[in-house]
Amino acid sequence: MQDEYQLDYFKENGFVRKTCPKCKTNFWTRDTDTEFCGDPPCVSYSFIGAPVFKKEYDISTMREAYLSFFEKNGHTRVDRYPVIARWRDDIYLTIASIADFQPFVTSGLVPPPANPLTISQPCIRLDDLDAVGRSGRHLTTFEMMAHHCFNSRGNEIYWKDRTVELCDNLLSSLGLDLNAVTYKEAPWAGGGNAGPSVEVLVGGLELATLVFMDLKQVKGGSIDIKGETYEKMDNYIVDTGYGLERFVWASRGSPTIYDAVFPKIVNELMDLAGIEHSIENPEYAKIFSQNARFAGVMDISGQANLLQLRKKVADTIGTTVEKLQKLMVPVESVYAITDHSRCLAFMLGDGIIPSNVKAGYLARLVLRRTLRLMKELDIREPLIEIIEMQIKNFPEYPEFRERLDTIREIVVLEDEKYADTIERGTKLVKKTALHFKDKKEKMPLGELIQLYDTHGIPPEITREVAKEAGVDVELPDTFYSLVAKKHSKAEEEEAEEMPLELPPTRKLYYEQTEQSEFEAKVLEVIENKIILDRTLFYPEGGGQPCDHGTLSMEDYIANVADVQNMNGVIVHETDSDFGFKKGDTVKGKIDWERRLAHMRHHTATHIVNESAKAVLGKHIWQTGAQKSTDRARLDLTHYKRITDDEFREIELLANRAVMKNQPVHIDWMDRVEAEKKYGFVLYQGGVPPGREIRILRVGSDVEACGGTHVSNTGLIGPIKLIKTERIQDGVERIEFSAGEAAVKRMQERDELLNKSSDALRVSPEHLPDTVNRFFNEWKEFKKENERLKAELAEVRVKAMMGDAVDINGLKVLSEKLPHADVEELIKVATEFSKNDDVVAILASESGGVKIVVAAGVRAQKMGVNAGAIVREMSKLVGGGGGGKPGIAQGGGTDVTMIDEALEKSAEMVRRVLK
């Protein structure tokens, strides 16, 4: 790989290649006096207080300077992509500009939107969340300015030399002394690709990385990097990344990147937190400069390292760690809030709905972290106000302002939800703490993990609340990794692969949408799997189940049970393996009723999606869908439950769309063109592979879709929404039926209604009132019944008292009340046992044998145990029982033994009294 960096451009422009004495890596520089590679920790920041460009820039002027520079140099400016990676199913957030063009552009399957191109792509990375605010340089959200160039063998636009030259020219156009730049060799590898790369370092700050991606990971490849083997690719890509915020920082030389990038918001938040943030004061600025310098050369992810950093800073400015801590922590929190609120503006602005799963979870994570920090600083301003401040600060993203109402509603709801969680949590912690206080123990770590993992209570809060209750808590630095350890990874299932060297099957189901029969040639037979040259059988995909039907020849007929698409080859799985041979011509027939039901449900899904968007808002995004013959379900992102009114409105709009009898348009389009024309809403149902994608338009709904559809919406028939379900926080599921299935649904409902009203002898419209009345009456009767039983018990006691037998001074009573239920027996028995010297033994035979025994206080003292008596009696009647010494219940199945059991009970009492 060494040769990769011997660029003509370096040689022709007086660069020398040196080796850093500290880290031993090679770097290129114009300045022969430069000793070190320029990268921390070998050097530390020198740009703080000494800006490297000739003037100060802010975010938008710097972005514009960059993009227009590359425009002038033959690049086409491309609009940014969303921060939520809608076009990918392997990552949630856009983490780099190149992510916009993966996987199909980088693999060469799809041409880039322009070539070469330049872009400023907002990216979100949550890996170093803890360092944000503290290190002076970390951000969750940053814009990666980039120029990309997609080369292929025989069609090279530019490669390494030109890339470095452009970088040099850009820097010098900003007024940088080029002697200050070093290009450090740093081979890059990631995501299955690799290549040589240089880091662009100025003043100790990495301003950009220039990656020359030309390798792909191949098992047994000839190039070895970090233990993996690679091969050269046919297409090779210039992948650059220039940190917009870092450029701004370098142009200002402020103590932290936050003060450089959003001075206004930082100051406003400092005011709200009541912190005097006088960055012009040299003494004050020095603290944060020193902190950023030291933090620049170390990893501060752990608590121990943070302390070390504090110590270093404290030493240089001559103070104690405690004093420093007290000064810095609030300021660092403000920095973090500033960063996080910007992150939220992007996340929510681009349509992420907070949830407890997937990308929504990440949004909630950041949101709650921000709320926590605000609470610590006692900032009372609602979070939404701060996010609004950010949004107003970005006139270049008008789309955020359009969504402001939805964003406001979401943030307010989330704010409330978190407050609820914390309140619930605090109570729980108090209770738990008191439990351990009683035992005079520390609250163990396991309890802390449980509280966080199950109830979302941060350990810091647990510690604080527990402390107030006077209980110590054990909280190690490694807390969060301990939690992570509890969650084991799920193993990924490998997709079944068939080693097929066959041409893609001709998909008749796209061409002949009204046909149910076809003829085809058998290309291959593997056991019961048959591959044809063409087929009308739709394979499972896009939430639509496969077609069923038959394949037949003169003598044979086989049922098709499963159809799968394996990389364009359609495989028919039949229930028998006889007959068909390579080269045969077969007749195929699909089950049209089944197919038609699928088509109706599929087109209906698009319509329901469109209606839901119209009713609920633009933030609605499909996260999943499944169709079958009698129903379909559609999962949508939404931040609250769908109300009954909304539900009916969606149903109405969907049916109106049907009744308009709109045509369903299907076009195959070039992917780039389609994205340009319709945006990423196309990929709601998933991201299809390939350069050409199938675009389906119904009304205002446009989606990339590979399913089969009816030609006009009128053919769907009625759409009946069945229910909504919240499958996850932030995801609502709508279940519905279409066509004949919908009619059946409605008939079923009617029948339920009719049966219910028949049972009550009222008409359906009176059902709610009548049911209500019956229920209330039932409750009253139940109460009355209970009262009567209690009264009856009293009467019975008086009547039966005379039957009691005297045993050693105790009044023992054993009686059968044949029709009494357990409750009555208990009431009577308890009534008896209010007399200290009574033992009441009662039995009934309603629904088997029931036995209840109660003993008065004195009887118990003398050794009578109701539980023991019941146990013994119950055994006799073939059951079991038990209870407390004062009252016990039991029973069995053998009704014929009741009398014997009652007779023996007196003996039992006698026995214990001896």
Q: Which is nearer to RNA, 9 or 361 (CB)?
A: 361
Question: Taking each helix axis from N to C terminus, what angle separates 59-72 and 244-252, rounded to the nearest 10 degrees?
Answer: 110
Would you say 825 and 849 are in contact if contact means Cβ atoms under 8 Å apart? Answer: no
Q: Which of residues 819-858 bind RNA (CB under 7 A)?
A: 822, 826-827, 830, 848, 850
Q: Which is nearer to RNA, 243 or 881 (CB)?
A: 881
CB of 827 to RNA, least distance (A): 6
Q: Which is nearer to RNA, 6 or 772 (CB)?
A: 772
Among 36, 294, 436, 452, indicate the residue that binds RNA (CB under 7 A).
Answer: 452
Q: Which of residues 416-445 bind RNA (CB under 7 A)?
A: 417-418, 420-421, 424, 427-428, 431
CB of 635 to RNA, least distance (A): 9
Q: Which is nearer to RNA, 560 or 843 (CB)?
A: 843
- Please tell me the distance from the alpha carbon of residue 203 to that of residue 70, in angstroms, as a whole number: 24
CB of 801 to RNA, least distance (A): 18
Q: Which is nearer to RNA, 296 or 542 (CB)?
A: 542
- Please tell me the distance from the alpha carbon of residue 1 to that of residue 17, in angstroms, as a whole number: 15
Among 40, 685, 856, 883, indicate the residue that binds RNA (CB under 7 A).
Answer: 883
Q: Which is nearer to RNA, 613 or 827 (CB)?
A: 827
Q: Which of residues 783-822 bind RNA (CB under 7 A)?
A: 783, 822
Among 307, 329, 357, 502, indicate the residue that binds RNA (CB under 7 A).
Answer: 357
- Please tell me the distance from the alpha carbon of residue 110 to that of residue 675, in angstroms, as a whole number: 12
Pairing of strands 517-526, 529-532: antiparallel
Give the interface segment with RNA, choosing from 148-156, 302-310, 317-325, 449-457 (CB under 7 A): 449-457
Q: Which of 196, 134, 129 is nearest to 163 (CA)?
A: 196
Q: Which is nearer to RNA, 272 or 367 (CB)?
A: 367
Would you say 394 and 345 are in contact if contact means Cβ atoms under 8 Å apart? Answer: yes
Ordered alpha helix ranges (H), 213-281: 244-252, 257-261, 263-272
- Please tell me the distance from the alpha carbon of residue 759 to that of residue 755, in angstroms, as a whole number: 6
What DSSP designation does 775 have? H
Among 380, 440, 489, 581, indicate the residue that binds RNA (CB under 7 A).
Answer: 489
CB of 74 to RNA, least distance (A): 40
Question: Taking each helix axis from N to C terminus, what angle separates 459-468 and 445-455, rounded to the nearest 10 degrees?
Answer: 120
668 forms beta bridges with 694
Cα–chain-centroid distance for residue 42? Answer: 40
Q: 669 in helix, strand or coil?
A: strand
The yes or no reply on residue 480 touching RNA (CB under 7 A) is yes
Among 322, 882, 907, 911, indicate the residue that binds RNA (CB under 7 A).
Answer: 882
- Please tell me the distance from the alpha carbon of residue 386 to that of residue 339, in angstroms, as a whole number: 11
The yes or no reply on residue 624 touching RNA (CB under 7 A) is yes
Contacts with 586 (C-beta within 8 Å, 6 or more apart), sequence order: 519, 520, 521, 522, 530, 532, 551, 552, 553, 580
Q: Which is nearer to RNA, 223 or 428 (CB)?
A: 428
Q: Which of residues 643-662 bind RNA (CB under 7 A)?
A: none
The yes or no reply on residue 483 touching RNA (CB under 7 A) is yes
Across the chain, how many H-helices and E-strands are there? 27, 33
Q: Which is nearer to RNA, 390 or 737 (CB)?
A: 737
- Please tell me the distance from the alpha carbon of residue 852 to that of residue 881, in angstroms, as a whole number: 9
- Please tell me the distance from the alpha carbon of residue 849 to that of residue 322, in angstroms, as a whole number: 76
Supply 614's token pair: 């119209």
CB of 473 to RNA, least distance (A): 18
Among 103, 192, 456, 617, indicate the residue that binds RNA (CB under 7 A).
Answer: 456
What DSSP designation does 488 have? P
Over its C-alpha atoms, the chain yields an Rg (Å, rounded) of 38
Cα–chain-centroid distance for residue 497? Answer: 29
CB of 1 to RNA, least distance (A): 30
Among 2, 8, 24, 490, indicate the residue that binds RNA (CB under 7 A).
Answer: 490
Among 729, 815, 845, 872, indicate the residue that binds RNA (CB under 7 A).
Answer: 729
Q: Which is nearer to RNA, 82 or 891 (CB)?
A: 891
- Please tell me the distance from the alpha carbon of residue 511 to that of residue 500, in angstroms, as a whole number: 24
Please work out, in degrees rounded to the nearest 5, the angle formed at the alpha carbon of residue 173 by the alpha carbons of 168 and 176.
70
Q: Which of 386, 379, 376 is nearest to 272 (CA)?
A: 379
Beta strands, E only, 495-631:
506-507, 517-526, 529-532, 534-535, 549-552, 557-566, 569-574, 585-590, 622-627
Number of residues engaging RNA in binding (CB under 7 A): 57
- Which residue has 């990971």 as its token pair? 217
The yes or no reply on residue 365 touching RNA (CB under 7 A) is yes
Residues 884-903, mask of contacts with RNA (x by CB under 7 A): x--xxxxxxx----------
CB of 723 to RNA, least distance (A): 8
Backbone angle region of 548, left / alpha / beta, with phi > 0 → left and psi within -120 to 50 → alpha: beta
Q: Which of 830, 832, 834, 852 is nearest to 842 (CA)?
A: 852
Q: Which of residues 763-782 bind RNA (CB under 7 A)?
A: 775, 779
Among 356, 763, 808, 896, indicate the residue that binds RNA (CB under 7 A).
Answer: 356
Q: Which is nearer to RNA, 145 or 371 (CB)?
A: 371
The yes or no reply on residue 641 touching RNA (CB under 7 A) is yes
CB of 775 to RNA, least distance (A): 7
Q: Which of 610, 829, 591 is nearest to 699 (CA)?
A: 610
Q: Which is nearer to RNA, 426 or 516 (CB)?
A: 426
Give the interface segment with RNA, choosing from 156-164, 336-344, 453-461, 900-908 (CB under 7 A): 453-461
Q: Which of residues 561-600 bind RNA (CB under 7 A)?
A: none
Among 219, 484, 583, 765, indicate the residue that binds RNA (CB under 7 A).
Answer: 484
Q: Which is nearer to RNA, 324 or 429 (CB)?
A: 429
End-to-end CA distance of the chain: 100
The binding site for RNA (CB under 7 A) comprises: 356-358, 361, 364-365, 368, 417-418, 420-421, 424, 427-428, 431, 450, 452-456, 480, 483-484, 487-490, 624, 641, 725-726, 728-729, 775, 779, 783, 822, 826-827, 830, 848, 850, 874, 879-884, 887-893
